[in-house]
């Protein structure tokens, strides 16, 4: 897998949050801004890779030379992955995919109750595990996973790497979300590869693209 091959390597990058709609206007989502995924897509395109960026709803400009596929929900993202990953050579799964979606999507606006109680419950179902689904059939392709952990991060990320069949996992703390810089730990099957403390995401993105060579 080098850039001297006839065709440039095709890299998939997922970025941003997903949105899981409850009704036509309300949704469940998360704080991901897409900054890291977009920075990886930009860095990879600058180095001559062919890049397909599968992005949830974010306010980010498409980097030059990048093919962008916009998606909304985790199921949308999975469909896009199933379409684009088979022809690709590597994938960075930087999106913060919603674990759950509402069990039901209401056609009309979900109404404040007219009477009784002051609470309610929202029934949720688990979304498919995109990382496990994609990595299970990765073959020789490199899969770089991302983990956001609020406690006991390295142990959890290392376990996730193994159980989900990824090659690398990039561990972030919650402070990384929606920020220009972050503290990141790169883990492979042998353990911690490197740590970067409070560095610009654009710079970390370049270090992550180095994993393709």
Residue 184 C-beta: closest distance to its own copies, Å = 16
Judge contact between 7 and 170, C-beta under 8 A. no
Residue 28 C-beta: closest distance to its own copies, Å = 6
The answer to whether 26 contacts its own copies (rule: CB under 8 A) is: yes
The answer to whether 38 contacts its own copies (rule: CB under 8 A) is: no
Residue 160 C-beta: closest distance to its own copies, Å = 11
The verdict on whether 30 is a catalytic residue reads yes
Which H or E element spans position 54? strand 50-55
Residue from the set 116, 119, 139, 191 that interacts with its own copies by CB under 8 A:
119
The answer to whether 104 contacts its own copies (rule: CB under 8 A) is: no
Kindly report each contact of residues 206-209 with a partner whose C-beta sits within 8 Å and lies 24 or more positions away, as own/partner.
206/43, 208/40, 208/43, 208/92, 208/144, 208/170, 209/40, 209/43, 209/44, 209/47, 209/49
The answer to whether 148 contacts its own copies (rule: CB under 8 A) is: yes
- Catalytic choice (30, 165, 172, 178): 30
Judge contact between 38 and 19, C-beta under 8 A. no
If 0-12 CB within 10 Å is exposed, 13-18 middle and 19+ buried, where does residue 137 land? exposed
Residue from the set 69, 75, 79, 124 that interacts with its own copies by CB under 8 A:
124
Residue 101 C-beta: closest distance to its own copies, Å = 10
What are 85's two structure tokens? 């990953």
Q: Considering all CA atoms of the chain, what is the largest pairwise distance in Å, rounded to the nearest integer?
A: 69
The answer to whether 115 contacts its own copies (rule: CB under 8 A) is: no
52 vs 60, which CB is nearer to its own copies? 60
Residue from the set 1, 3, 24, 82 that interacts with its own copies by CB under 8 A:
24
The answer to whether 120 contacts its own copies (rule: CB under 8 A) is: yes
Pick the closest to residue 16 from 86, 84, 91, 93 (CA basis): 93
Residue from the set 4, 114, 116, 151 that interacts with its own copies by CB under 8 A:
151
By CB under 8 A, the count of residues binding its own copies is 37
CB contact burial 151-164 (16+ within 10 A = b; e otherwise) = eebbeebbebbeeb
* Residues known to be catalytic: 30
Q: Give me the residues that bind its own copies (CB under 8 A), please.
A: 22, 24-32, 59, 96, 98-100, 103, 107-110, 112-113, 118-126, 148-151, 174, 177
């Amino acid at each position: 897998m080098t850039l001297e091959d006839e065709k440039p390597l095709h890299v998939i990058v997922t970025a941003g949050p997903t949105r899981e709609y409850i009704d036509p206007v309300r949704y469940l989502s998360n704080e991901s801004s897409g900054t890291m995924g977009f920075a990886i897509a930009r860095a990879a395109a600058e180095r001559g890779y062919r890049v397909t960026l599968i992005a949830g709803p974010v306010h980010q400009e498409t980097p030059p030379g990048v093919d962008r596929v916009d998606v909304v929900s985790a199921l949308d993202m999975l469909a896009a992955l199933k379409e684009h990953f088979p022809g690709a050579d590597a994938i960075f799964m930087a999106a913060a995919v919603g674990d759950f979606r509402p069990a039901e999507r209401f056609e009309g606006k979900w109404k404040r109750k007219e009477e009784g109680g002051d609470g309610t419950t929202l029934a949720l179902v688990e979304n498919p595990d995109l990382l496990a689904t994609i990595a299970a059939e990765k073959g020789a392709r490199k899969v770089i996973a991302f983990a956001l952990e609020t406690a006991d991060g390295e142990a959890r990320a290392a376990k996730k790497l193994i159980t989900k069949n990824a090659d690398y996992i990039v561990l972030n703390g919650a402070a990384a979300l929606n920020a220009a810089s972050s503290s990141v730990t790169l883990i492979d099957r042998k353990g911690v590869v490197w740590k970067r403390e409070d560095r610009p995401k654009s710079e970390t993105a370049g270090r992550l693209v180095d994993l393709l060579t």
